[in-house]
Amino acid sequence: MRRREFLKLGAAAPAALGLGGLARGEESSPSARSAGQARNVIFLVSDGMSQGTLTFADQYLRWRDQRPSHWMALYEDRERRVTRALMDMSSGSSMVTDSAAASSSWGGGHRVDNGRLNVGHGGVEHEPLAAKLRAAGRAVGLVTTTSLTDATPAGFTANARSRREDALIADQYLERDVTLLLGGTGAGFDPERREDGRDHSKIWADAGGEVVRTREDLLAREDGPAKLLGLFAPDHIPYEVDRLHDPDLRREVPSLAEMTRIALARLSGQEGGFFLMVEGGRVDHAAHANDLPALLFDQIAFDDAIGVALDFQNRHPDTLVIVTTDHGNANPGFQSGDVHGARQFERISRIRGSFTEHITRWLGGNRSAGEIRERFADALDFEISGDNAELLAAFARRDYRPAYRRMRRASAVIGQVVANELDFSWIGTAHSADYVELTATGPGAGRIRPFTRNTELHGLVLETMGVG
Ligand SMILES: [Zn+2]
């Protein structure tokens, strides 16, 4: 063949065959079914992550550890082929989605109303990925820092008219034979909080699955069959910043990266390949609460899980890794030219816990400005000015009320005071309509278009895994 013809074919063939997703190592992998097909898919979701959250965590890591976040490092990687896109996350009922509708758009491939899980208008049920993949012999794992039946894992697995139906959702995990579950317990997996008293841990163990409840137990179970249920907190897993600074929590509760590592170790032995969803679920909670340290360290914990997924992909190139978020939330970030960076990061690095756990709950009732300053300094090693303490004292005795209704809760007023200190502020306390960041690498990633509709990922996962 003449060189010119070869070049022509070389340029045309991948597009004609739909092989835009050729990735590093794919051709050399004996287990790749065919080009653009993946044995495994790891789908990572930072719940409620605005663009400012991604930026903040990356800039902080560059300051603290002199390295970018794993997420941003993907964009700087010259070896790895990476697809970057914006995604429209609109739901069936709003431009601003909630996590149930968002997860359903990926899990069931349809836009449903906020609050619903794969149930459309007229009650039509959309079969979720977990059911389709299990029926096709693929393993399915769900790892999250929220309770296991929370909206994001549920959207991949369940059909429910309301995301609050924890018992029904847990039952559907069982019926659909989800292979591995690691996260917080919540009402669905707690027999004492279920009307029928059903004990899923017992059912799981009776069926020959393993059940773990502590970090130590989990880390000791790297080897073994895939069937694993881990329940590490009564509800959601504590904020990472609280876990890091509490020796008991640190001993008892695994990090998201640790859960991800064990999940991958257990699932990688599955014959037909696996789908693993990993959710940094409390980035969203921190954003609702305008809680800077909770937001930062949960986003970093999520980013560490991305690192684990990419390490796995280096060893198993027939793995598609998708990294995204389901919606923005409160759009946080540094503002004003007074921000130096290092000066702010230095103060932030000394904060020893979340505002939610150490300040917000404590602030109710009358507190003097002096008490408030002391509390910030003692509990968190974070000094605030007398003026800012006065503002909080006035709010606590109901003498001060922000104009914007959504900013009137205590956590938001604390967020505004912290913005006075650090020039790090928030536009509200709710989800946003922003198009979201979508990143993918590995076989199939090249099929993602630069501007993607949320529902397209459903077909992409199935097609890439070769499930009809
Ligand atoms: Zn939310």
Of the candidates 328, 458, 447, 370, the one whose C-alpha atom is nearest the C-alpha of residue 47 is: 328
Q: What whole-number distance in Å separates Cα of residue 311 and Cα of residue 313?
A: 5
CA of 11 to the centre of ligand 1 (A): 44
Residue 191 Ramachandran class (φ > 0 left, ψ -120 to 50 alpha, else beta): alpha
| Topology, domain 37-332+435-464 | Alkaline Phosphatase, subunit A (3.40.720)
User: Mean per-residue pLDDT for 438-454?
Assistant: 97
Domain boundaries, the chain: 37-332+435-464, 334-423
Cα(8) to centroid of ligand 1, in Å? 49
286 CA → ligand 1 middle, Å: 9
How far away, in angstroms, is 239 Cα from ligand 1 center?
Answer: 15
**Per-residue pLDDT, 34:** 61
Question: Using one digit for the tens of pLDDT, what is the confidence trace for 262-305?
Answer: 999 999 998 899 999 999 999 999 999 999 999 999 999 999 99
pLDDT higher than threshold 50 for residue 209:
yes
Distance 99 CA to ligand 1 centre (A): 6
Q: Please tell me the distance between residue 282's alpha carbon and the centre of ligand 1 in angstroms.
A: 9
Closest-CA residue to 446 (of 84, 45, 8, 12):
84
Q: Is the pLDDT of residue 3 over 80?
A: no
Task: Give pLDDT, residue 303.
Answer: 99
**Mean pLDDT of all residues in the chain?**
93
User: How many A from CA of 361 to the centre of ligand 1?
Assistant: 19
Whole-number Å distance, alpha carbon 216 to ligand 1 midpoint, is: 30
Q: What separation in Å is there between the alpha carbon of 406 and the centre of ligand 1? A: 14
**Residue 36: what pLDDT?**
85
- What pLDDT is attached to residue 427? 97
Using DSSP bridges, classify how beta strands 210-212 and 228-231 pair: parallel, antiparallel or unpaired.
parallel
Measure 163 CA to ligand 1 centroid, in angstroms: 12
CA–centroid distance, residue 288 to ligand 1 (Å): 7
d(CA 48, ligand 1 centre) in Å: 6
Task: Inform me whether the pLDDT recorded for 11 exceeds 70.
Answer: no
- Ligand 1 center from residue 88 Cα (angstroms): 17
User: Can you tell me the mean pLDDT for 215-227?
Assistant: 95
pLDDT, mean of residues 62-78: 97
Per-residue pLDDT tens digits for 237-262: 999 999 999 999 999 999 999 999 99
Please report the DSSP string for 424-459 in residue order. Answer: EE-S-SSEE---EEEEEESTTGGGS-SEEETTHHHH
For the chain, what is the radius of gyration of the CA atoms?
23
Q: How far is the CA of 113 from the centre of ligand 1 (A)?
A: 15
Mean pLDDT of 345-371: 95
> Residue 7 to residues 2, 14, 15: CA-CA distances in angstroms?
9, 12, 14
pLDDT higher than 90, residue 386 = yes
444 torsion bin: left (phi>0), alpha (psi -120 to 50), beta (else): left
Residue 24, pLDDT > 70, answer: no
Q: 27 or 171: whose pLDDT is higher?
A: 171
Residues 359-376 have pLDDT tens digits of 999 998 789 999 999 999
0.95 exceeded by the pTM? no
Q: What is the pLDDT of residues 115-145, one digit of tens each?
A: 999 999 999 999 999 999 999 999 999 999 9
CA 49 to ligand 1 center in whole angstroms: 10
For residue 460, the CA-to-ligand 1 centroid distance in Å is: 26
Distance (angstroms) between ligand 1 centre and the Cα of 368 equals 32
Mean pLDDT of the region 140-169: 98
Cα(244) to ligand 1 centroid in Å equals 23
pLDDT tens-digit series, residues 302-338: 999 999 999 999 999 999 999 999 999 999 999 999 8
What is the reported pLDDT for 77? 95
Is the pLDDT at 6 greater than 60? The verdict is: no
Euclidean distance between the first and the last CA atom of the chain, given in angstroms as a whole number: 37
Does residue 353 carry a pLDDT above 80? yes
